[in-house]
Homo-oligomer: A and B are copies of this chain.
Amino acid sequence: MNLVSFEGNKDNTKINGSGPVTSAEPVQPLDIECVEKILNYRFKNKSLLVQAFTDPSYDEKCVSYERLEFLGDTILSMVITNEFYNLYPKESPGSLTNLRAANVDTEKLARVAVKHNLHRYLRHKKPLFDDQVLEFVKAVKKDPTLPHSHGLLTVPKFLADIVESTIGALFMDCNSTDTVWKVVKPLLEPIIHLDKLEKHPMTELNEKCQKKKLTLTTKDTWEETKNFFFLY
């Protein structure tokens, strides 16, 4: 794949800065070239990228990523809806909603951030940043292929925010949802598709019980047995 520039695919050099999941050492100020390599995209307006990687805690004089994250959230939702709409022409809106939700949720996006080391470039002054990221990175390392823990992991929201603010910056730079998708799709891989769409274990359990006309009683016995549920 070529480096996507704001002018199109003129650079034929294969450049990719993504690597294995590593520890959390924020690099400040922003190394624009490194982030562009990870994204495989060259920004026309570099200040957008700087803004996308500036946490509100960093410096009150700097514009933080919050507005770009807000924009990126809706752009991501749109491009992924469009992808699934075209990919699954027979699927109902309900099914497409589940697919979209699985791919844009906080844990999925936080996994994207650490997989591509985006978190290392966040400019911030968050005192608990290292601990929070390291705990998440450690948990992800245990099974990096797992798409989702279904709420078992504590996910630092700012990790997902970085992905969304980057998407917002991309759109502001290129004004093309097609280009955004071209850049973002490889980062989001593995994208969760219909055949891999897992129901939340509680939803599955409830459905199975309903089918067999069993009443489900839940009891928290974590302290004693390290198990949560009993089925009657």
Q: Is A67 an interface residue (CB 8 A)?
A: yes
Give the secondary structure class of A's interface: helix
Which among B71, B77, B171, B175 is the interface contact of A74 at CB below 8 angstroms? B77
CB neighbours (8 Å) of A93 from chain B are 66-67, 69-70
Q: Is A97 an interface residue (CB 8 A)?
A: yes
Within 8 A of B (CB), among A42-70: 66-67, 69-70
Q: A204 CB to closest chain B CB, in angstroms? A: 24
Whether the Cβ atoms of B66 and A74 lie closer than 8 Å is: no
Interface size on A, residues (CB 8 A): 21
As a 0/1 sequence over residues 72 to 109 of chain A, the CB contacts with chain B under 8 angstroms (1 = contact) are: 00110110011001000001110011000000000000
Q: Is A177 an interface residue (CB 8 A)?
A: yes
- Provide the bound-state CA to CA distance between A97 and B74, in Å: 11
Quick one: copies of this chain in the complex?
Answer: 2
Whether the Cβ atoms of A74 and B67 lie closer than 8 Å is: no
CB neighbours (8 Å) of A91 from chain B are 67
Residue of B nearest to A88 (CB): B67
- Provide the bound-state CA to CA distance between A92 and B91, in Å: 36
- Provide the bound-state CA to CA distance between A96 and B168, in Å: 15
Residue of B nearest to A90 (CB): B67
20 CB-based A-B contacts, threshold 8 Å: A66-B92, A66-B93, A67-B91, A67-B92, A67-B93, A69-B93, A70-B81, A70-B93, A70-B96, A70-B97, A71-B81, A71-B82, A74-B77, A74-B78, A74-B82, A75-B78, A77-B77, A77-B78, A78-B177, A82-B171
Q: A67-B91, A74-B82 are in contact. List 10 more A-B contacts (CB 8 A).
A: A66-B92, A66-B93, A67-B85, A67-B92, A67-B93, A74-B81, A77-B78, A78-B78, A78-B177, A82-B171
Interfacial residues, chain A to chain B (CB-CB below 8 A) = 66-67, 69-71, 74-75, 77-78, 81-82, 85, 91-93, 96-97, 171, 175, 177-178
